Structure 1
Amino acid sequence: MAGRILIVDDQPGIRMLLTDVLTDQGYEVITAQTGTEALEKIRMENLNLIILDYQLPLLSGKEVLHKLEENNMKSRQY
């Protein structure tokens, strides 16, 4: 497996398209449709990359990033 990617987007078509493309390239893809769901999955999953929509309803992509910083959950570099 090439790595684990979280795709966060409120549009199902975008999530499906990115999932298809990335799984064809050997990645394991996890999806979330809200910022709240994304934060939960980030806490639970070992991820290599997050693709985050900036304009999510209720909790925007920018707010998700701020919450990650507040919780000291910054990305790791390998």
Structure 2
Amino acid sequence: MANRLVVIDDDPALRVLLSETMALQGFDVDAFGSGAEAIEKAEWGRTGSALIDWMMPGMSGVEVVDWLAAHHPDVRRIIVTAAADALLVQHPEIVDRAAVLAKTDFSGPRVAEMIEATWPPSTA
């Protein structure tokens, strides 16, 4: 379970990049183009972590984090965003429910370290 990772990003190129990068880090990756699709189709009972884009049409990354915290609190939650500062200003409480990573700081080893550091996940 710990090595199963869900990637949620509406940008197809970034979704592929995130997925392939994390697969090279040893994760089994399932990728989805929206929060609603991930909620419906992901095997959450077998998932250890989720990388979630913040700004997506429809369901935002914050809404996905809230849903995961309520329904699958054991899943580690990391929001990956190009606008980390704006996210933290608009949603300062997010740090209680998810780790936040700027896309400019993204690397496979960095995310693997964050996943390790966010265990056990917050149940807030």
Which TM-score applies when normalising by structure 2? 0.53
Q: Distance in 1 between matches of 2:40 and 2:49?
A: 15
Matches within 5 A, 1:30-69: 30-42=30-42, 44-45=43-44, 46-69=46-69
TM-superposed CA distance for 1:41, in Å, is 3.5
Residue 51 of structure 1 aligns to a residue whose secondary structure is strand
RMSD: 2.1
1:73: which partner in 2? 72
The structure-2 alpha-carbon separation of the partners of 1:57 and 1:3, relative to structure 1 and needing over 3 Å to count, comes to: same
Report which of the two structures shows the higher radius of gyration computed on alpha carbons: 2
Once the two structures are TM-superposed, the CA of residue 57 in structure 1 deviates from its matched residue by: 0.6
Higher RCO, 1 vs 2 (CA within 8 Å, ≥6 residues apart): 1
For residues 28 and 68 of structure 1, the distance between their equivalents in structure 2, rounded to whole angstroms, comes to 19
By how many angstroms is 1:37 displaced? Answer: 1.0
Structure 2: unaligned runs, 5 residues or longer = 76-119
